[in-house]
Each structure stands twice: as structure tokens, then as C-alpha cells.
Chain A
Amino acid sequence: MAKAGTWIEPHPHGIYVRPADLWIDPSRPVPRAAVTHGHADHARSGHGAVFATPETLAIMALRYGVDAGASDNAAFAYGDGFERGGVRFSVHPAGHVLGSAQILMEYRGERIVVTGDYKRRADPTCARFEVVPCDIFVTEATFGLPVFRHPPTSDEIAKLIGAVRAEPERSVLVGAYALGKAQRVIAELRGAGWDAPIYIHGALEKMCQLYAVHGVDLGELRLVSEADKAEMAGQIVLAPPSALNDRWSRRLPDPVTAMASGWMRVRQRARQRMIELPLVISDHADWDELTTTISEVNPKESWITHGSEDGLLRWCELTQRKARALHLVGRDLEEEA
């Protein structure tokens, strides 16, 4: 049997699709890139033309300014796509953040799906992951160890609200990645009935506005920089993780430091970051989601891009599935997971 997937080439800085002369999520500037989603480790600036969902293009334009909105760029809604060099490309929901997509490529009767980052559980801020049958499934593995099982999001949100109510003279400061996690935490809070204003760090403002423009209702948001210290007592404040223990936090009333991340599952990780309230809320598939997804997609081969490849490879071996690790570089696993 001929070797599968010979028309795509995994390189440390991205996946090259030879017949189409196009890169997927390249970590350095290229003439043509298909981008799965707007996180900086997948969407870099400086490409010639970018193919992505309209939301991802909007996010890139917001982050990188005009060059990401070049005239050669093309936006595709979920299910749509284009053909280039005999390869048929289409985008499908990945459930990771607003606009995140899996990219399906069909060439000479072979189907390859590149997931980018994804999760399976419901998220009020983005379309839910769809299983796309394929021959080669190129999957992430951020949480590719069986210790990573994210609890139900509603439990973690209840924990957050409980912590605010328990100490009404303090604020709870939640570290959440500026794109995706922050908006999801806000939307989940709204879904749980938290209708008080939510205070945000200036670095989150524009992305929250972008989400609102795309129809994600985040309720009333206020900037910490424009608020009185006293009014934030008993309230929820969101900031990028880097601001948690920095001087910026001194303007809050005795904040309880929380962090929303899949890494919070491991106590030592949370302690190292001096987190008092760990919230296991992740935009990445946990172990059960990763393994279930491979089972459901049931590809001939699984290629594992980044994260704990060894764990997922071992699972594939145990379940007699063909798999290999790609060792892509430049993936930022710490902050946004």
C-alpha cells in the first residue's frame, strides 16, 4: 500500500501542503497560509494571503492591524472552502474559540483533517466541534495524559460565584487568556445568572468588543482603570494571567487570585503560580475528549502535533491505532490552555 499523506509535509514551523503551495498555521511568514484560529501561536502576522473563517480574519486584523486584512485574504464560513492545486480545502467547527476551524483537505481520494486546537464540550461563545471523517487526523494533544479530565464547566463557574459570595469585601481576580477564555468565562457566568457588571483589564477590552460584534452577548463590562477600588468589592475581575500578581492588581480590593486553565487540574501547578482559587476551565480537549474523538473519527492514521504527544501515542499503541508525533515548534502551551 502506498504511504498515506505524502502530499503534506510536517515541518517544525508548520504543515506544508505541497500541491497547493500553502502552509497551515505556520509560525513564520509565508506567501499563503490557512489559519485554524486566532491564537498567536497559530496565527502569525506577515503572511501574503490568509485563508480562514471570517471571525479568525477579524481577530487577526484586530491583533496585527491592516496587513492581516490584505486583499488576497479569503474568508470561508463553516462548511465552505476553496480549491487550489487540485486540493479541496474546507473549514469545520473546532469548538476552541470564536471562529476556530478544523481544516479538511481532499486530494486524489485521500482526506486529511488538521484540527488546530479543539474541545468537545459546549461553549456559548463558539460553534461546537464536528466530527469530520478522514484518513489522516492531525490532532493536538495539549492534555494528552489521563490525569487531565476537566470537570463540568458549570461546577467550576459555581465555585467562582461561591468564592465571590463567601468574601463580599474582596474581589475575585480571574486570570484568563485574552482571546477565548476570558469571553467564555464571562459568557458562562452570564449563563449561570451572574448579571452584575464584570470588571476587565484593558488588555481584554477590544477582544470582548469583537466577540459582541459577532453576536456573543457578554453583558455589562467595566474597565478596572475607570472603576473605584471600593465598587469592585464582591465583584468578579478578569485579567490576562500575566497581570495576576503584578502591580496592576494593587488597585483591586484585596483580590482572591483565581485562574481559569486546564493546568489548574494539577495542584502543584496552581500553587507554583500562587493561585488561591484554581478553576479547571479549558478550551482544549481533555484526555477523554482526545481519545473519544480519535475513536469517533476513526482515521487510518493519527498525527499528533503538540502537547503531551507521548501519552496519546501510547494510547494509540494500546488500542492498535497507527499514530506518529510531528513535533511542531513554537506552540505556546502555558498561557492559553
Chain B
Amino acid sequence: MKRFAALIDRLIYTRSRNSKLALIVNYLRHTPDPDRGWAIAALTESLDFPAVKAGTVRTLLATRVDEELFRLSRHFVGDTAETAALLWPEKPLPFRGGVGVGHVEGAQPQQAPPRPSPKGEGELTVSEAVDALSSATRSDAPAVVASLLDRLDADGRYALLKLALGGMRVGVSARLAKQAFAQAFDVPVDDVEELWHAIPPPYAPLFAWGEGRGERPDLADVAFFRPFMLAHPLEEDSVDLADYAAEWKWDGIRVQIVRGGSETRIYSRGGEEISGAFPELVAAFDQEAVIDGELLVRGEVQGGEAASFNALQQRLGRKTVSKKMLADYPAFVRVYDLLAVDGNDLRSLPWTERRRQLEAFVPRLAASHFDLSQVIDASDFDDLAERRAGARDAAIEGVMLKRRDAPYVAGRRAGLWYKWKRDPLTADCVMMYAQRGNGRRASFYSDYTFGCWSDAGELLPVGKAYSGFTDEELKWLDKFVRDNTLNRFGPVREVEKSLVLEVAFDSIHASKRHKSGLAMRFPRISRIRRDKPAEEADRIASLQAMVT
């Protein structure tokens, strides 16, 4: 538990992705089974102990610590698990007598329950903790947690409570964990991606394979994830449509739906399982197959067509979905590739052959939830460019170009798939606030909030951007912020409203979150317009005209 606690502690304070990766790699290499498997499952929020909830911890604390002191402390700290970890009474330090710890003799309504004697000797391991937590029942959970806490120091208690309650928030995605695994044992990340979801925690066969002690685990009858084939941005002036097929690029989220054995799972682009958020799709997908497609929400405004990304966002990041959500934001998948069907892996076949089989396959799915992404029937590249420029559909983000003879291969390979996004929209905005960045940018004001003019002549924020500029431009912007500060609000500086920034963005939507009523998608700074007076920046009204 000491190593795990130290890992969590480092991850909390580490902001760079590479540093996080290095920490996990080191942990995986130097920690024995099954602790490392449980630890990585905990980091990626893949564990659940139904008997242990935040209420359990509060109940437990009430037996050891005065309730008012707990309340005051919780208010100060802001997190139940951390408060409990810090408050848990320990032996006092040696310099004094026995008086005066967080719990108060004689002052509690009841004495602490007799401690169940700890099962193990010596240091508590992660797997001991997992065993104890998973065999706990509602009624003995407080006693179980108490006996574990008694064996740990403050950092260990924090790690244990986060392990038990979830909500780790250390910025470790499943994708990062898989990369760390691949790096730790020098195995291809594509293989790790496939195997990861096929094996439950603590992943013992996976570690055995990684360390060369065991065979590659058998994935028959398992709904495992296949790493996505990805596209490069199109930089050539044109491609020959005899070699490349064109499809619309949809502005939803890329998903893979897998049915294997008797189970259906939905994976997001990062290989995270998101089945829980889309139960209607899981239920509707009843064919033994693996598809690749875009998850979209059907919008009323669009007359039953795909709605903008904004609508889809209502459905993302949910563990459970209400009936109202299902009704208001019905999800469907626009399918564009078939990776396996009826037990046959199609990934080595060329796109033309997969496409032929896909067209034959899609009618086997419920039309209410699945449709086929159409190939754009353009006569030549100029024709395609024209259609791309004229596309007004809210859910179209651009065009995909796929090499007709290419197999389905993991990752981003040169020359096989291209994405050709619609030209970004731009607006001239005025810088309003600036905030310092993270990591290497911690001493630079690199995050900018900018606004446009309302009809009443007021500047209203329309977005925030922290990219698009060069290092030189960043230095200049940083100096501008420091020299033109009007007010400071903690880490934020309000600046003189004098600098015009040309902001590029992919699309703009109505939003209740901002006073301007607008929200930009992928805003970035495209140019610094030192030449332009702030009064001549764009009006809110002209941005509203771009709303899709």
C-alpha cells in the first residue's frame, strides 16, 4: 500500500502526461502481482465495492471523531476521503504525554467499536485491501474499513479511501494505463489495447504475457477492443479519387461496437468502455460483429437528421441515463467500417471488400439505431472540394479520404486515411482575461478569454483559447498581459480591452453557459491583430449568424 499511496501522491501533483506515464511505468515494473493489477484498475476507475460508500466512511468517522470537528474539517478540506484520511486518530507524536488527539476521551457519544484484529501481518497490501473491501457487507463495512485504516499512515489512508470510494481524479485514462503497460514491458501497444478489456482485474495473464512468462491470452468469445485506424490531416493539394474513396466526416464521437460471446460493448476512441452511457445501442446491437462508426444524436431541428456535437454532449460522461435523456437525445451510430462479422476477422481485407460486406451487413441491424455512412459520389477532386465547401449539415465536420486497397490497421499510417476538415471559421475578438498555464508554461499567461461586442456596446466573453500561437508570440502575449493588467482575481488577470485576436474555430453553437449565449468548438488563436483597433472587432450578432 505504501508504494501505491506514493504513486497516487506523485500523480496528483504531476501535470505533464509524460511524467505521469513514467511514474506508472516504474510502478508496474517494480510492483508484484496482484497488487499492480489492482492498483492500475483503481487508477482507471475500474473497481467498484458496492458495500462501501461515502456514507460508510462518515458513519465510521462518527465513532472515532467528534462530529462537529469532522464537519469543520470537511468544510475546510472539501473532500470526504481526504478529510477522513487526515482525521483518523493515530498515536500522538513522542514529545508529549498522551493527551490531545483528534478524538477526545470521554467526550464521544459512544466508544469506538472493538477493532477486528487485522488478518495479515506487516504492511497492508493492495490486494489484501481489495479482498477485504469486496467481501464486506453493508453491515460490517464500517468495521472492515476501520481495521484497514488502523494499519496505514495518512497517505495510505487516503489511497485506501480513494480505492474504496472511487473518484481518484489523478488524470489517468485507460489509454494512458495501456501505454504505460506497453512501455513497461516493451510490448506493442496495439496488442495491449486488444487484450486489456478482455481480461478482468488484476490482469494476471496480461502481466505474465508482458513479462514473457505466459502465452498471449486467448480472446475467443470475448468482446474485446480493436485499436482504431486513424487519419492524417490532408496536406496534399489533391488525391486521385480512383485510389481514394470519400466519405463525410461526422462531428460526433468515434465508437467501436463489439459483440462477442454473449456480450455487447461500446468503446470510445481512447478504448474506454462507454456501454453504460448508451444502453439503447447496446440493446439494439444483436449481431455477432465489430463495427466502426460515429455516434451521433438525432436532432429535431434537423428534421430527424444528425444534430450538432452540442446535442451529443448531453449524453457523454454519464454512468446511467434517465428516460428523459434517452427520449430527448436519441443516439444512433452511422457505421463506416466492419472489422469482423460472424467470427471472421476482416481487418486484413482491403477497404473495397470491407465496404462491400459492410453494405450487406448494415441492413441486419435495427434501422432505428444504425445507418450506413454514405460514400460521396464525386466525379473528381474538384467536384469533391465543391461539395465539401457547400456542406451545411450541422453534423458534417469535413471529408474523409480512405485508400481503397488499404487494410484496417491500428494507428495513424502515412497515405492510407486522410481527414480533410472544413475550413475553420474565424472571428476577430478582444482579449479580456488571461490566466497562467501549466507545467512549462506555468510562468506564462497563456490561456486567454476573449469577447465580442454586444449591440449595447458591451464586451461579452465568447470563448477561451490556449493554443495556435508560436513560442515567440506567447512571449509577446505574456508581456502584453503583464503590461496591461487592470485587475487580478487569484490566478486570473483582467487586461486592458485593447488587443484584437483573430480566433479560428470549427463551429459555434448556442450555449446557456456564457453570457454571450455562444460557445465555440476548438477555438484557437490564429493571428494577433495588433493593427486592428478593439472597437472594430466582431459583434456578437455576426457570430450568431454562424451558429449551426
Q: Is the pair A147, B87 in contact by a Cβ cutoff of 8 Å?
A: yes
Known contacts A149-B90, A149-B154, A246-B443: A308-B104 contact under CB 8 Å? no
Which B residues are CB-close (under 8 A) to A254? 440
Q: Is the pair B73, A276 in contact by a Cβ cutoff of 8 Å?
A: no
Within 8 A of B (CB), among A265-284: 265-268, 270-271, 274-278
Q: Is the pair A145, B13 in contact by a Cβ cutoff of 8 Å?
A: no
A73 within 8 A of partner (CB): no
Complex alpha-carbon distance, A250 and B475, angstroms? 12
Across chains A and B, the number of contacting residue pairs, with CB separation under 8 Å, is: 102
Which B residues are CB-close (under 8 A) to A120? 95-96
Complex alpha-carbon distance, A310 and B83, angstroms? 17
Q: Is the pair A314, B68 in contact by a Cβ cutoff of 8 Å?
A: yes
Stretch from B74-82, B209-217, B361-369 that touches the partner: B74-82
Minimum Cβ distance to chain B for residue A291 (Å) = 3
B436 within 8 A of partner (CB): yes
Q: Is the pair B82, A266 in contact by a Cβ cutoff of 8 Å?
A: yes
Known contacts A120-B95, A120-B96, A295-B99: A315-B83 contact under CB 8 Å? no
Q: Is the pair A268, B86 in contact by a Cβ cutoff of 8 Å?
A: no
B438 within 8 A of partner (CB): yes
A121 within 8 A of partner (CB): yes
* Chain A window 226-268, contacts with chain B (Cβ cutoff 8 Å), 1 for yes, 0 for no: 0000000000000000000111011000100100000001111
Interface SS of B by simple majority: loop
Complex alpha-carbon distance, A75 and B99, angstroms? 36
Q: Is the pair A250, B443 in contact by a Cβ cutoff of 8 Å?
A: yes
User: What number of A residues sit within 8 Å (CB to CB) of B?
Assistant: 43
Q: Is the pair B443, A145 in contact by a Cβ cutoff of 8 Å?
A: no
Q: Name the interface size band of chain B.
A: 35 or more
Which B residues are CB-close (under 8 A) to A148? 86
Residue of B nearest to A276 (CB): B13
A288 within 8 A of partner (CB): yes
Which B residues are CB-close (under 8 A) to A225? none
Q: Is the pair B77, A319 in contact by a Cβ cutoff of 8 Å?
A: no
A154 within 8 A of partner (CB): no
A311 within 8 A of partner (CB): yes
A318 within 8 A of partner (CB): yes
Which B residues are CB-close (under 8 A) to A275? 13
A288 contact from B14, B83, B92, Cβ within 8 A: B92
Q: Is the pair B77, A245 in contact by a Cβ cutoff of 8 Å?
A: no
Complex alpha-carbon distance, A249 and B436, angstroms? 14
What are 24 A-B residue pairs whose CB atoms fall within 8 Å in the complex? A146-B69, A146-B73, A249-B442, A249-B443, A254-B440, A265-B86, A267-B82, A267-B158, A268-B79, A271-B12, A274-B442, A276-B13, A278-B13, A287-B102, A288-B100, A288-B101, A289-B96, A291-B99, A292-B100, A294-B100, A295-B97, A311-B69, A315-B100, A319-B104
Minimum Cβ distance to chain A for residue B7 (Å) = 14
Nearest first, the 8 closest Cβ-Cβ pairs linking A and B are: A146-B102, A291-B100, A318-B107, A147-B86, A295-B99, A292-B100, A318-B104, A292-B96
Complex alpha-carbon distance, A265 and B86, angstroms? 8
Known contacts A268-B77, A288-B92, A315-B104: A146-B82 contact under CB 8 Å? no
Known contacts A291-B100, A319-B107: A276-B14 contact under CB 8 Å? yes
A296 within 8 A of partner (CB): yes
Which B residues are CB-close (under 8 A) to A245? 436, 442-443
Within 8 A of B (CB), among A291-311: 291-292, 294-296, 308, 310-311
B360 within 8 A of partner (CB): no
A310 contact from B72, B78, B443, Cβ within 8 A: B72
Minimum Cβ distance to chain B for residue A306 (Å) = 15
Complex alpha-carbon distance, A311 and B69, angstroms? 6
Residue of A nearest to B85 (CB): A147
Residue of B nearest to A151 (CB): B154
Which A residues are CB-close (under 8 A) to B158? 267
Known contacts A266-B77, A268-B77, A275-B13: A257-B100 contact under CB 8 Å? no
* Chain B window 76-120, contacts with chain A (Cβ cutoff 8 Å), 1 for yes, 0 for no: 111100110011001011011101111010010000000000000
